[in-house]
Structure 1
Amino acid sequence: MAIEETGHGRPTAEVLADVRDVVDPALRAAVATLPLAPRAIADYHFGWRDEHGNPVAGASGKLFRPALALLAARAAGGAAHDAVPAAVAVELVHNFSLLHDDVMDGDTTRRHRATAWSVFGAGGAILAGDALLSLSFDTLAASGHAASGDAARRLHTAVQRLIDGQSADMEFERRTDVDTAECRAMAEAKTGALLGGACALGAVFGGAGPRQVEDMRRFGELLGLAFQLADDLLGIWGDPAVTGKPVHSDLRNRKKSLPVVAALSADTAESGELVALLARDRPLEGAELIRAAELVELAGGRSWGEQETAALLQRALEHLRCASCAAVPAAELAALARLATRRDH
């Protein structure tokens, strides 16, 4: 990630480094409480150990969701350290979803290394994901925070929406009649729900009132939708050497991502060719994948996605303004949101 200045706050790179310093030890400590088998897979997935269990110099992903939680707590007038259990919980849920997603999609690469299921088997990866999900709620309960019960209910709602969105995403792979409204609802649930949950949980742990929590949740949810759109664009045109994901993996899996659905709905010669290409009863490979990406762009899916990402970001920032947050953490949240929707990986 490139450094982006946060206006009245710190540079975003500094914010993320501080989040890592605070959250990474707590995340490692939480995962260390798991039984041996799922812990070994989780340690590998997070990049802390290799497939033989040897320690490696790894990092726990970008910790974007924990950053939202800690900044939301500060924005609500609380202290960042009070929201560490919330930050850890949302990161555990996120990685539960990644472990399961890789199995369902058959992806063999994540973060520039082999996916956990491709090393340890699908069953082991699924169980490790289940263990992380269970641990997320235990982390909230063990915090002793007065708002832990409310936070657990909010996290439960976010997880159920995430699962609903993932289910729709899988269903769309088998359909040819998906429209943009359906696809938007899927993406808002699949990705937006957890980012909204991260902001809401952080605000709750920071002592926010109901209205402020709702505005923070909606900020995160709309940011999540913009984030998913940016990710969809990377899933088609991102450089695998930078993203750490297989080239054209979304097209290979016939994902009805928002740029693809926008292109399919364009009613042009290119969209018609794309419909025919995606309707083939065998996996797309090689030149077919390259052509499919070209057709999405020619039918307007790429430009639509870029414009929609910018519009969603502005709507998210309006909710952040409505939340009447403390100025410095609000500025840092806004800068983090801008960076997340203009990334290259």
Structure 2
Amino acid sequence: MNFSHPLAGGAVARCRGLLEPALREAVSVLHPWGARMAAFALGWSDADGKPYRGDSGKGVRPAVSMLAAEAVGAGAESALPAAVAVELVHAFSLAHDDIIDHDERRRHREALWKAYGVGPALLAGDALLALAVRQVAERPEAMTWVSAALVELVQGQAADMAFENRPWHGPRQVTLAEYVEMAAGKTGGLLGAAAAAGVALGGAPELGERMWALGRDLGVAFQIVDDMLGIWGDPLVTGKPVYSDLRRDKKTFPVLAALGTGGAPARELSEMLSAGLADEESIQEAARLVEEAGGRASAQETADQYLSSALTALDECLPEATELRALCSSLVNRDN
């Protein structure tokens, strides 16, 4: 991830230095086959098990945990159990998401299921989830938030999948309010758990509820930006094919916002989506209409609003948390 603020980039790199040894220790208990797949999923090796130092992910969630602990006066190490847990949950969710969405690429290389097969990838995802729970099983102040995030994640993912079977217009069309609730769970729950567990392990559990809400707002902003990158991002930077969400008929925020404007571009877009995007030309035209109808501008404005809400809560709870604030801002102002 290219961080828009140098303070954020430095903080994440520092946290990653603490995280990786703990992550490696966590997955070392797996069966050798499972450990090999986990190493691939976490960006440490190629599909043959040879060392690999490519894109191993943003490392945002564990950094949120550790920076939250530091912001309440503890050492970053105090939040390592939560940091490892949220990173393992994130890796688990990506392994399963790529199967659900039929995505063949992840971080500029094959997705886990494409490299090893669907069954092995499901098993590896399950192993990562089990290890995540193990990390916080004896720390109830963190387990409360991680378990809540798991429920939210599954609920959000279920809603996202259910959206795909609903029409683009009519009484059953997906509303922006439904989208926001989905994103708050699917993406925000784990960010909320990272922040809340971080302050709890750092010795300030009374801030947990506020940090949980902060993370959910941040997750909505993060997911909206993800949707924008899925349409207008550079695949050489994002590591995923351009227009992939449009190809899958996903109900993303920019498209839903564009349809809601009611103008001529929105009507034309609705007709195209209802008929189906049959080829590359129609997909490109749909992306143009989304922008012309105002979907891109609305998405950016809404992402900025949810980021502002998260930062306001952070300033009220932890006014000296400069690194955490910079990181939160960078999650929205990004290109991958």
Q: TM-score range by the shorter chain?
A: over 0.9
Name the counterpart of 1:201: 197
Name the counterpart of 1:261: 256
Name the counterpart of 1:332: 323
Matched, 1:93 2:84: no
Alignment partners' CA distance in 2, 1:249 and 1:59:
20
Shift, 1:326, TM fit: 6.2
Q: Gapped runs of 5+ residues in structure 2?
A: 168-172
Matched, 1:154 2:155: no
Name the counterpart of 1:294: 288
Q: State which drifts further: 108-117 or 11-20.
A: 11-20
Matched, 1:185 2:186: no
Contact 1:46 1:59 in 2 (8 A): no
Contact 2:141 2:201 in 1 (8 A): no
Shift, 1:226, TM fit: 0.7
Alignment partners' CA distance in 1, 2:199 and 2:325:
15
| Residues 135 and 25 of structure 1: CA distance in aligned 2, closer, same or farther (over 3 Å) | same
Alignment partners' CA distance in 2, 1:38 and 1:293:
40
Match of residue 248, structure 1, among 243, 248, 259:
243
Alignment partners' CA distance in 2, 1:334 and 1:153:
24
Q: Normalising by the residue count of structure 2, what TM-score does the alignment of the two structures yield?
A: 0.94
Shift, 1:302, TM fit: 0.1
Alignment partners' CA distance in 1, 2:246 and 2:131:
33
Alignment partners' CA distance in 2, 1:259 and 1:205:
37
SS at match of 2:187: helix
Name the counterpart of 1:45: 41
The letter for the 2-side match of 1:261 is L
Name the counterpart of 2:10: 14
Contact 1:187 1:228 in 2 (8 A): yes
Alignment partners' CA distance in 2, 1:180 and 1:13:
32
Name the counterpart of 2:333: 342
1:233-261 Cα shifts (integer Å, max 9, x gaps): 10110000000011111111111111111
Alignment partners' CA distance in 1, 2:4 and 2:222:
18
Please list, as runs of the form range in 1=range in 2, the aligned pairs for 1:62-211 lying within 5 A after superposition: 62-141=58-137, 148-176=139-167, 177-210=173-206
Contact 2:156 2:186 in 1 (8 A): yes
Alignment partners' CA distance in 1, 2:35 and 2:278:
36
| Residues 33 and 60 of structure 1: CA distance in aligned 2, closer, same or farther (over 3 Å) | farther
Shift, 1:153, TM fit: 2.3
The letter for the 1-side match of 2:284 is I
Name the counterpart of 1:309: 303
Q: Normalising by the residue count of structure 1, what TM-score does the alignment of the two structures yield?
A: 0.92
Alignment partners' CA distance in 1, 2:162 and 2:55:
33
Shift, 1:298, TM fit: 1.1
Matched, 1:30 2:26: yes
Alignment partners' CA distance in 1, 2:81 and 2:205:
19
Q: Gapped runs of 5+ residues in structure 1?
A: 6-10
The letter for the 2-side match of 1:335 is A
Alignment partners' CA distance in 1, 2:262 and 2:319:
47
